[in-house]
Amino acid sequence: MASINLIESFQEFKEAENIDRPTLMKVLEDVFKTLLRKKYGSDENFDVIVNTEKGDLEIMRHRTIVDDGTAQDPLAEVEYSEAIRQSPDYEVGEDLYEAVDIQEFGRRAILAAKQTLASRIGDLKKNALVKKYENRVGEIISAEVYQVWKKEALLLDEDGNEILLPKSEQIPSDYFKKGESIRAVVKKVEMRNNNPVILLSRTHPSFLAKLLEIEVPEIFDGLIVIRKIVREPGERAKVAVESYDDRIDPVGACVGMKGSRIHGIVRELKNENIDVINFTNNIQLLIQRSLTPARISRMNLDHENKTAEVFVSPDEVSKAIGKRGVNIKLAEDLTGFEIDVYRDDEGETDEYDIDLDEFSDEIEPWIIEELKRIGCDTGRSVLALSAEELERRTDLEKETIEEIRKVLEDEFSKS
């Protein structure tokens, strides 16, 4: 049987994921039909038969048997006297099938076919790799450290594909050793010199978002949604979350019992402090929450210019600004407001109060109006009255009053 051994080329195909057998067959057929066209001028009367398991192929030539002296097209017809040399049972009108000896093409042509095949395989592997990782952008993957350079680290995925983790996408305190398995998020896929390059990141907000999704089932199930994440990798991150279920405390769910859920993420991020806050559409509350752990005395907002003047007691200034200004920078990124922090020497003993209207996303409007009716228009003015007094003076039920007081108390405990 005339055949050509292509085991090495086939092996390359098998190692490349997502290259299906029909594609493999088509590529091989194209390569060898090109070879046939160069030698015979046409490939119409040839069949390329591929055995992908054994790693070989054969080319079969078929011609119609005609009477002696009547053959007009030597590629499509063969005379009877020539056909019966192979088998005396042949008759005129039948098809003669014969294997083509690949060696007839010549050594140069065979080498050229192998090179073309290798090139086509390479292109298919590149396309498969790009497709695989373009569909995984934003996902966390685990990869093994293969080599660490000054500007980047070379990793290998489970299939042995090379992936890059640039120094700029590493947490400042990251230190990797060869053979170590690390987690990162797929940031993007780009082409360099016609070669696909997969870039990972451990500093992108999506890395923290995916870690939270893994650790917090409520986020994975969609009961809690992450509104925004801002990070100073390795130092501090702020995560604004919101719950679609009133029975679920989004901050508590993310932190976990005694910090059980958040601690694993903090370790993964090299002890990065993570502030999880309740998202609100009320910018005043959002700014107050975003400046945690600082306690605010009072605030002046300019919605038009998106600026905020925040006053804090002298001992809270450093907390509001944070180490190297990280806390206030992240608060600005989270809220979209430019924040200026001032020492509130005069109001140092004043308690920070919030208008009841600012709680409209947590307390129903008709309840707020009922509280205003008895002269309570701020959060602390409500808390100044006992639950019994509120029940006596309003039309609110005991359970409702308890819920209101809990919302207010939780808010002031944060400020």
Distance of alpha carbon 365 from alpha carbon 369, whole angstroms: 6
Give the mean model confidence (pLDDT) for residues 280-301.
Answer: 89
Predicted local confidence at residue 103, as pLDDT: 72
As given in the structure block, the two tokens for residue 82 are 């020539």
User: Which of 290, 347, 345 has the alpha carbon at shortest distance from 319?
Assistant: 290
Cβ atoms within 10 Å of 28's Cβ, excluding its own: 23
pLDDT digits (tens, 9 = 90+) for 248-286: 889 999 998 888 899 999 999 999 999 999 999 989 899
Give the mean model confidence (pLDDT) for residues 87-94.
Answer: 80
Predicted local confidence at residue 286, as pLDDT: 93
DSSP string, 268-320: HTTS-EEEEEE--S-HHHHHHHHTTTS-EEEEEEETTTTEEEEEE-GGGHHHH
Contacts of 342 (CB under 8 A, 6+ apart): 309, 310, 311, 312
User: Which of 151, 184, 187 has the alpha carbon at shortest distance from 166?
Assistant: 151
Higher-confidence residue of 89 and 230: namely: 230
Give the mean model confidence (pLDDT) for residues 64-92.
Answer: 79
Give the mean model confidence (pLDDT) for residues 16-45.
Answer: 73
Most confident residue range from 32-41, 154-163, 368-377, 379-388:
154-163
Predicted local confidence at residue 55, as pLDDT: 56
Predicted local confidence at residue 54, as pLDDT: 59
The strand pair at 140-148 and 152-156 is best described as antiparallel
Higher-confidence residue of 137 and 369: namely: 137
Above 50 in pLDDT, residue 349? no
Higher-confidence residue of 54 and 341: namely: 341
Place of tokens 């009877």: 80
Name the amino acid, one letter, at 29: E
Predicted local confidence at residue 238, as pLDDT: 96
Give the mean model confidence (pLDDT) for residues 388-411.
Answer: 86
Distance of alpha carbon 102 from alpha carbon 49, whole angstroms: 13
Give the mean model confidence (pLDDT) for residues 359-372.
Answer: 84
Predicted local confidence at residue 109, as pLDDT: 74
Contact 168, 184 (CB under 8 A): no
Above 60 in pLDDT, residue 415? no
pLDDT digits (tens, 9 = 90+) for 101-147: 777 777 777 777 777 777 777 787 888 888 889 999 999 999 999 99
Give the mean model confidence (pLDDT) for residues 279-298.
Answer: 89
Give CA angle at 103 (102, 104), nearest 5°.
90
| CA distances from residue 158 to 3, 62, 145 in whole angstroms, order as listed | 35, 46, 12
Contact 291, 275 (CB under 8 A): no
Instruction: Name the packing angle between helices 398-414 and 365-373 (round to 10°).
Output: 90
Higher-confidence residue of 14 and 31: namely: 31
Above 80 in pLDDT, residue 58? no
| CA distances from residue 172 to 154, 166, 269, 360 in whole angstroms, order as listed | 17, 12, 10, 41
Burial of 137 (0-12, 13-18, 19+ CB in 10 A): middle
pLDDT grade for 9, boundaries at 50, 70 and 90: low
pLDDT grade for 291, boundaries at 50, 70 and 90: very high
Above 50 in pLDDT, residue 17? no
Sign of CA dihedral 223, 214, 174, 252: positive
Distance of alpha carbon 319 from alpha carbon 221, whole angstroms: 35
Q: What is the DSSP letter of 357?
A: G
Distance of alpha carbon 173 from alpha carbon 166, whole angstroms: 14
Predicted local confidence at residue 31, as pLDDT: 78
Most confident residue range from 218-232, 363-377, 394-408:
218-232
Superfamily of domain 138-201: Nucleic acid-binding proteins (2.40.50.140)
Q: What is the mean pLDDT of the chain?
A: 84
Distance of alpha carbon 288 from alpha carbon 359, whole angstroms: 13
DSSP element (H, E) containing 227: strand 224-232
Distance of alpha carbon 268 from alpha carbon 274, whole angstroms: 12
Contact 379, 356 (CB under 8 A): yes
Instruction: Name the packing angle between helices 7-15 and 107-134 (round to 10°).
Output: 10
Whether the pTM exceeds 0.95: the reply is no
Most confident residue range from 44-48, 230-234, 311-315:
230-234
pLDDT digits (tens, 9 = 90+) for 172-181: 999 999 999 9
Superfamily of domain 4-132: NusA, N-terminal domain (3.30.1480.10)
